[in-house]
């Protein structure tokens, strides 16, 4: 038997049976909407495949021009969080494709700017060591590598250059205000390799742009031409609330609907061991001060 035959995927019916068996052991839901038995539903996939958001205007002083695929809101936000914090690395190809589309204009401008022989570098914004250990990989660098492969297939001279690193104690930016983010990132990055001649910065999310501004400052200080940046998602401008308002949100609403159905059909002895769906809803209303958000709203 040839090596190709030995490692070929099983035929359709067998593959379907293996998939069904796997889902019994490891149930899968779409992380964007919790639709059952589908890793990523068409609607949530489209939320990242729609025309790119374009240039992000509300970035910190010193940040290069940044382009994003979508807003950090609704289904795109939930997809990225599942990929980043809950081990859904199967979403990497979808997020990398969104990054590719977001950075299309920046790459075209870089190609026109160069002489065709000068290599373009994609410089990923570094993650903390703790984050890399927890996630099992440097996920932003992985997105950059995927993007670079797609560009090389189109004849673009490009390579990934992870030449930036976080200084010890730099920490995460989650929960900080714009002023705190800028102060925390000042001096937080340093070079750990030979700087490229010109580059695009790559990150998963831009919030205030303070990290991108610091990355541009460090690279520009050693002669690198920072042509711009590309990210998967951009946080809404300051003062803009995420869609959905108050309330438990759609994830809890879907959970409650399932619980209502389960309560009707579950034996009383089993149902008595846990709160009913109506009791869960009452508690949620007490905490949030409102009823459940309408289906389709973001948490």
Q: What is the mean pLDDT of each run of 10 residues along the chain (299 residues)?
A: 42 56 68 91 93 87 93 95 92 96 91 76 92 89 96 94 82 52 66 93 93 94 95 84 44 43 44 49 43 35
The per-residue pLDDT for 28 is 81
Q: Inter-axis angle of helices 74-85 and 42-49, to 10 degrees?
A: 100
The per-residue pLDDT for 289 is 40
The per-residue pLDDT for 103 is 94
The per-residue pLDDT for 131 is 86
The per-residue pLDDT for 136 is 86
- Report helix, strand or coil for 180: helix
The per-residue pLDDT for 140 is 96
Q: Strand ranges (DSSP E) for 125-266?
A: 158-160, 164-166, 189-191, 198-206, 225-234
Nearest Cα to Cα of residue 33 among 76, 83, 84, 90: 76
The per-residue pLDDT for 276 is 52
The per-residue pLDDT for 267 is 47
Domain coordinates of the chain in residue numbers?
51-234, 250-288
- Report helix, strand or coil for 9: coil
Evaluate if pTM is beyond 0.75.
Answer: no
Helix (H) or strand (E) holding 282: helix 277-288
* Cα(30)–Cα(75) distance, integer angstroms: 10
The per-residue pLDDT for 284 is 44
- Token look-up 């205007």 returns 57
The per-residue pLDDT for 298 is 37
What is the length of the chain? 299
The per-residue pLDDT for 183 is 53
The per-residue pLDDT for 203 is 96
* Cα(137)–Cα(147) distance, integer angstroms: 16
- Measured on CA atoms in the order 260, 262, 267, 273, is the torsion positive or negative? negative
């Amino acid at each position: 038997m040839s090596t190709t035959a030995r490692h070929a995927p099983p035929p359709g019916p067998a593959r379907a049976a293996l998939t069904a068996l796997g889902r019994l052991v490891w149930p899968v839901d779409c992380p964007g909407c919790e639709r059952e038995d589908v890793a990523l539903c068409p609607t949530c996939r489209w939320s990242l495949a729609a025309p790119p958001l374009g240039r992000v205007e509300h970035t910190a002083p010193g940040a290069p021009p940044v382009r994003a695929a979508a807003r950090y809101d609704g289904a795109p936000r939930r997809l990225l969080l599942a990929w980043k914090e809950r081990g859904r690395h199967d979403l990497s190809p979808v997020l990398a494709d969104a990054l590719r589309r977001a950075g299309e204009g920046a790459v075209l401008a870089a190609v026109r700017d160069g002489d065709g022989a000068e290599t373009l570098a994609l410089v990923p914004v570094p993650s903390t060591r703790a984050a890399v250990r927890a996630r099992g990989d440097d996920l932003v660098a992985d997105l950059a590598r995927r993007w670079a492969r797609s560009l090389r297939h189109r004849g673009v001279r490009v390579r990934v250059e992870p030449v930036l690193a976080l200084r010890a104690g730099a920490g995460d930016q989650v929960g900080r205000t714009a002023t705190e983010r800028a102060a925390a990132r000042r001096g937080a990055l340093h070079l750990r390799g030979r700087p490229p001649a010109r580059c695009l910065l790559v990150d998963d999310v831009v919030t205030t742009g303070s990290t991108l501004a610091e990355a541009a400052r460090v690279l520009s200080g050693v002669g690198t031409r920072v042509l711009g940046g590309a990210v998967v998602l951009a946080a809404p401008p300051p003062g803009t609330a995420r869609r959905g308002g108050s309330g438990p949100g759609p994830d809890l609403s879907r959970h409650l609907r399932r619980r209502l159905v389960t309560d009707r059909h579950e034996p009383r002895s089993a149902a008595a061991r846990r709160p009913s769906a109506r009791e869960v809803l009452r508690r949620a209303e007490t905490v949030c001060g409102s009823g459940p958000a309408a289906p389709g709203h973001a948490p």
